[in-house]
Structure 1
C-alpha cells in the first residue's frame, strides 16, 4: 500500500533538498535560511497531487551542478597524481548526467579511463587499418588492476578526512570530509565497437569496467543508453524523464515488506519502450502521465512473454532478466494505482470512482504551469 501521502510528500521534499544544513549550504548565495520553495509546490494545494508533480520534476540545477563540482574535485586530484605515471581521461555516467536523479544530494559516477589501451571490434571497418596499432603490453584486466590500486592509494591522501571505501567490486566510493557528494570512481578503458569505428560518435563507444572481486572486466555502453533516453525525451516534450523520475520516486518510497528489485537503469529502460504519443502531453496536463504510465505498465504485465524479451536501450541485455524483476513490476503498478486513487480523489470527481472515471479525470485534468 502507498501509505500516508503527507509523509511521502515530506520525504520527497527532504530527498530533493537534503537536510536543513545542506539547504543552507547549497543556497547560501541567496541568503535564505529556510527550506526553498520549489515551483511544483506552488501548482497545487493537494497532497498527492503535489507529490506527483514534485516526483516528476528535475531537482534544482544548483544541486546537480554541485554534484558535478564534487566529481571534478576528485577528478582533479586523480589527474594530478597520475600525471606522468598512468595516462588517463575522465567522463561521467549514470542518472546525474542524464538528469533523471531524484535526490538533490545525489552521488555521481566518475569514469576513470585508462588511455592508450583500447579493445576493438575486429569486424569493424578500421580494425585492420593504421588507425590502430597492435598492443604488446599487459592485458586489459591487469592494466585496470594497476589503475585501481593507484586510485585506492591516491584518494585517501588527497582527501584525508573523507571515507574511502575500496570494498566495492566496480567502484571506489569516496564520501564525507570536505566532499558534499558521494563520488563513485570507476576504473575502466575504452571499447571501440564496429559502429563506433564507422560513426566516430561517442554514443557508439563502449567501455570495459574493472571488476576487482574476480579480477576481470565487463563491457557496457553508458553513452548509448544516455543517447537513446535523451532522444526519446526530446520527442516527448521532456516527459520521458518525468515518467522515469516518477517511477523511481515510487520505488524509493515503497514501504512494503519486500524490495522493488528494479534499478534506475531498469526503470529508464522500461520507460524507453513506452509509446511516445501517449506520453507526449503539455505541461499543464502532467497528471495525465499517471494514466499513460499505468496503461504501459499494465500492458507489460499482461503481455508478459513480450515484456521478458524487451532489451535495454544499449541492446546489451534483457531488462527483465530475473523473475524477481517481473514480480517487482507488478508491485510498482500497485503503488502507481494507489497514487492514482489518491490524486483522483483530490480532483473531486465524486464519491464513486471507477477505472473509467479515473481515466477521464486524469486525461482531462489541468494544472497551471
Structure 2
C-alpha cells in the first residue's frame, strides 16, 4: 500500500527542524531550490527521500555540542584529571534529529586496560625502525605496574560523584540508567548522556600514537562492572572516511534507513543505529559511489534483500570495527531486519513510477 508521503514529509520536517525555522534561511540555496522543484513536480516520494538523506543543519548540531560542553564544564570543575570525549551519531553526522542527544564520556585517569602484554612485546621486538616515542609507548604497557586498586569501585565513585555534581547544577537529571546519567540543560534544550568508562589500549593505538584506535569499557552501575570493549572513536573515523570517499553517500543511506525506522508503524526499537550503520558500511563502495540520491534506495533494497534471503552472507556481516557479528545466532535481529526491509520495499515500489530515471532498475 502506498505510503502517505505528506505525513511522512511533515515527520521529517519536525525532526530535522524542530524550531520551525524558515527553510530558506535554514538550508543552502541549492538544497532549498531542489526541494522547491520536487514540491512543484508533485513527486512527494522523492521529496521524502531527499529530506531523509539530508544531514541535520549545522546550527542544530552546534547547539547539541554546546549543551555537551556545558555539562562537561561543570564536571571538569569538580574533577579536572578526568578525560572527556564525545561519541555517537552526532559526531559522525548520521543523526536525524535537530534536537539530538549527545553522549559525553568521562574516562578515568586512575587506570586503563589493554591487550595482553605479549602482543605489545611481539610488536616491540618485530619493529626494528621504531622511533623513540613508539618504543616508549609500547614499553609503558610492557613494563607497567599492575593496578593495585579496585577498578569497579573507582568507576562507581566517579559515576556517583558525577551524579552529585549534576544534581546540584541541573533540575532535570535521571540517574536510574545503568550506563549513563541523563541530563537536560534546557538551554540549549538537549539531552546529554554522561557515560562513565575507562580506556582500553591496543598495540596499534600505542604504536601509531593514535587515540582513535583506543577502545573504552563502559561502566554499568547496576551490574557494578565494566562492559566489553567498544571502539566508538574508530567507528566514527571509519564512517567519516568512507562517506568522504563516496561524496557523503554512505551517510545519506544511514540517515534514510534511520528515518524509515523512525517512521515505521512497526516496533523496530530492537534494531539499533549500530546495526543500521554496520549494514550500510558493509556495502561495497563500487555499488554506489557515483549514484544519485534516489538510486541509493535501490542499493539499500538489494542489500537488505540479500541479507534477508542469504543466510551465509547474513552471518558474515560484522560491526564497523570488526569486533562482532551483527546477525549470527540472533533470530530476533533477523526478524526486525525483514520488517525494516519491507519499509524499503514500499518506498522503492512507490519510487519507480515517479521518475523515468529509474527505469534501468
Does residue 1:332 correspond to 2:348, yes or no? no
Report if aligned partners of 1:71, 1:108 keep a CA contact under 8 Å in 2.
yes
CA distance, structure 2, for counterparts of residue 177 and residue 271 of structure 1: 34
Measured in 2, the distance between the counterparts of 1:237 and 1:34 equals: 24
Could you tell me how far apart the structure 1 residues matched to 2:138 and 2:297 are? 52
8 Å Cα contact 2:138/2:207 also seen in 1: no
Match of residue 94 from structure 1:
88
Task: Provide closer, same or farther for how the CA distance between residues 13 and 153 of structure 1 changes in structure 2, counting only shifts above 3 A.
Answer: same
Q: What SS is found at the alignment partner of 1:308?
A: helix
Shift of 1:108: 0.3
**What is the alpha-carbon distance in structure 2 between the residues aligned to residue 169 and residue 34 of structure 1?**
43
Residue matched to 1:42: 36
Provide the TM-score with structure 2 as the length reference: 0.86
Deviation at 1:79, TM superposition (A): 0.2
| Number of residues of Structure 1 aligned to a counterpart in Structure 2 | 335
Residues 1:288 and 2:285 are matched in the alignment: no
1:319 equivalenced with 2:313 (yes/no): no
Aligned equivalent of 1:11: 11
The SS at the match of 2:353 is: helix
Question: Gaps spanning 5+ residues in structure 2: where?
Answer: 125-134
Change (3 A) 1:128 1:245: closer
8 Å CA contact retained: 2:63, 2:188: no
**CA, structure 1 residues 177+236, in 2 after alignment: closer, same or farther (shift >3 Å)?**
closer
Q: When you count helix as a share of all residues, which structure comes out higher?
A: 2
Does residue 157 of structure 2 align to residue 150 of structure 1?
A: no
* 2: CA distance, partners of 1:75 / 1:270: 32
CA contact (8 A) 1:2 1:255 kept: no
- Aligned counterparts of 1:168 and 1:279: Cα–Cα separation in 2: 40
Partners of 1:342 and 1:315 lie apart in 2 by 35
Q: In structure 1, how many angstroms separate the alpha carbons of the residues matched to 2:24 and 2:289? A: 36
The structure-2 alpha-carbon separation of the partners of 1:117 and 1:2, relative to structure 1 and needing over 3 Å to count, comes to farther
The CA deviation at 1:128 is 6.9
Shift of 1:234: 2.0
With the length of structure 1 as denominator, give the TM-score of the two structures: 0.85
SS at match of 2:105: strand
Decide whether the 8 Å contact of 1:260 with 1:331 is kept in 2.
no
Match of 1:244 in 2: 254
| Structure-2 separation of matches of 1:117 and 1:206 | 14
- Are 2:184 and 1:192 equivalent residues in the alignment? no
Is 1:55–1:246's contact at 8 Å kept on the other side of the alignment? yes
Q: 2:66–2:188: 8 Å Cα contact kept in structure 1?
A: no
Find the residue that maps to 2:195 and give its secondary structure: strand
Matched, 1:360 2:354: no
